[in-house]
């Protein structure tokens, strides 16, 4: 029920033009900052005047993001972190507090997918998806929320996915992790509200498939592509930023993702209109080409990252 209420409230919010808050001088930490979305988030936050702490497991990619952000005139600090390792998160968080200061905006953006069929996927790859996409949210929040609570000031952003609201075949690890991310974020929001910490904001971001290469090979039916094609990364981040700066609790991109019929099983298609049927039917097989593409390209446990 609470998720449905959030969907309704935030659907209305997307049609309004709320006042955007100023984050100039705030310290923003972004995970997965070396990836496509992470880099764009870093640049958008830099344009708003926020100073950056960038985390990624790929040092070279992270430094490239830092270079671009510094050209916009903000302070940037980079750290190489393995989000699948709890102690790596806690140890690096301690370093950030000592070397940089208190983080007031936390953007949990990092994400991975195994890209294998369930019965063909090594257990360690399945575990890594859950660790990075879901478990890390717990450790990141435990590391940085206490500082926010002490001042009743902060903002926690969870970049989840439309696949955290409904599922499709052959990406069980990713769907499970994103469903977990959505549940975690929603419960955390309720906890902050129950404790009257109205100065700490939360935003849940649920985009449709984004054209970052993470799901390279995914084939969406042509009937559906004309309605909701894969999202451009910059558009996705810009829409997310509008929601964050407006302190919107949830944003689905595109707006069609707000429609609650997506949770219904496809045997109910006869009661829905054609567009809904196309989505429900095609979503079952759209990832099969992605899986085949990954199987052809990898033979040593390679992991696709956002």
d(CA 44, CA 38): 10
Structure token pair of residue 73: 């005139």
Neighbouring-strand partners of residue 203:
157
- The residues, any chain, with a CB within 8 Å of residue 34's CB and separated by 6 or more, are 54, 56, 57, 58, 60, 61, 62, 64, 65
Q: What is the DSSP-derived secondary structure letter of residue 62? A: H
Using an 8 Å Cβ cutoff, are 10 and 194 in contact? Answer: no
pLDDT in tens, 12-25: 555 566 789 999 99
Q: Report yes or no: 158 and 108 within 8 Å, Cβ to Cβ.
A: yes
Sign for the pseudo-dihedral over CA of 163, 166, 170, 175? positive
Q: How many CB atoms lie under 10 A from the CB of residue 242?
A: 17
Write out the two tokens for 99. 């070397």
Whole-number Cα distances in Å, 9 to 168, 189, 248: 26, 15, 9
What is the Cα Rg of the chain in Å? Answer: 19
- Residue 242 has what pLDDT? 97
Domains belonging to the chain, first-starting first, are 19-300 (3.40.50.720)
What pLDDT is recorded for position 171? 86
Spatial distance between the Cα atoms of 260 and 282, rounded to a whole number of angstroms: 17
CA 252 distance to own-chain centroid: 11
- Residues designated as active site: 174
- pLDDT value of position 270: 44
Q: Phi and psi (nearest 5°) for 30?
A: -125, 125
Which residues neighbour 282 within 8 Å (Cβ) at sequence distance 6 or greater?
A: 220, 221, 223, 224
The predicted pLDDT at position 275 comes to 46
What is d(CA 43, CA 49) in angstroms, rounded to the nearest whole number? 10
Contact 24, 49 (CB under 8 A): yes
What is 12-27 written as a DSSP string? HHHTS-PPPPP-TT-E
Residues of the chain whose pLDDT is less than 70?
A: 1-17, 212-228, 257-306
As a whole number of angstroms, the distance between CA 266 and CA 246 comes to 35
Q: Which pLDDT score, from 0 to 100, does residue 256 have?
A: 73
Residue 255 confidence (pLDDT): 83
Bridge-based pairing state of the strands 250-253 and 27-31:
unpaired
Residue 195 CA to its chain's centroid (Å): 25
- Distance of alpha carbon 294 from alpha carbon 166, whole angstroms: 23
């Amino acid at each position: 029920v609470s998720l449905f209420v959030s969907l309704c409230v935030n659907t209305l919010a997307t049609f309004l033009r709320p006042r955007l808050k100023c984050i100039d001088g705030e310290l923003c930490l972004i995970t997965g900052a070396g990836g496509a979305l992470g880099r764009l988030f870093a640049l958008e936050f830099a344009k708003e005047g926020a100073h950056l702490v960038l985390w990624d497991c790929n040092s070279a990619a992270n430094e490239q993001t830092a270079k671009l952000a510094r050209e916009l005139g903000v302070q940037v600090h980079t750290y190489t972190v393995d989000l699948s390792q709890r102690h790596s998160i806690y140890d690096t968080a301690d370093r950030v507090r000592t070397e940089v200061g208190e983080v007031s905006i936390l953007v949990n953006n990092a994400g991975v997918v195994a890209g294998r069929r369930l019965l063909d996927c090594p257990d360690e790859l399945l575990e890594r998806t859950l660790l990075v996409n879901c478990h890390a949210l717990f450790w990141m929040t435990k590391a940085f929320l206490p500082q926010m609570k002490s001042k009743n000031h902060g903002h926690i952003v969870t970049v989840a996915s439309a696949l955290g609201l409904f599922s499709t075949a052959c990406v069980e690890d990713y769907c499970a992790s994103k469903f977990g991310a959505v549940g975690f974020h929603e419960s955390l929001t309720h906890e902050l509200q129950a404790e009257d910490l109205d100065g700490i904001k939360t935003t849940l971001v649920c985009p449709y498939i984004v054209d970052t290469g993470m799901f390279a090979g995914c084939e969406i039916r042509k009937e559906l592509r004309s309605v909701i094609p894969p999202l451009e990364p910059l558009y996705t981040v810009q829409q997310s930023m509008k929601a964050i700066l407006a302190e919107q609790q949830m944003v689905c991109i595109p707006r069609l993702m707000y429609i609650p019929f997506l949770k219904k099983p496809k045997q109910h298609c006869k009661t829905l209109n054609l567009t809904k049927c196309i989505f429900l039917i095609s979503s079952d097989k759209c990832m099969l080409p992605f899986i085949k593409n990954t199987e052809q390209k990898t033979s040593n446990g390679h992991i696709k990252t956002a």
